[in-house]
Structure 1
């Protein structure tokens, strides 16, 4: 479950950001770029959450 929620939130946030930026540019909404942003955000959350941001007590 801890891997599913970041994926869902990353998709929702990517949709909102993509929609706003595309609307400002006057282009059509593209779902492929939204999925790309979702993958990047999800990987960043996993890497930061599991590896980089460890508490001092875990060393």
Structure 2
């Protein structure tokens, strides 16, 4: 379920950011390109989440 919500929010936020950036620079908004960026971002975020250890740090 956590992968679903990660994909959901990543997809929405990347689509929103792509729309805003395209509007700011006067370019056309492209749903397909933004979707590809969203999927790549999802994979990177998921991989990063799996790489980071969850063990508590005792003392430095």
Structure 2 CA distance for aligned equivalents of residues 14 and 44 of structure 1 = 13
Deviation at 1:37, TM superposition (A): 1.3
- The structure with the larger Rg is 2
Match of 1:8 in 2: 8
| TM superposition score normalised by structure 1 | 0.82
Match of 1:44 in 2: 44
Match of 1:54 in 2: 53
Q: Unmatched 5+ residue regions in structure 2?
A: none
Aligned residues: 56
3-state SS in 2 of match to 1:56: coil
Q: Unmatched 5+ residue regions in structure 1?
A: none
| TM superposition score normalised by structure 2 | 0.81
Structure 1 CA distance for aligned equivalents of residues 24 and 43 of structure 2 = 27
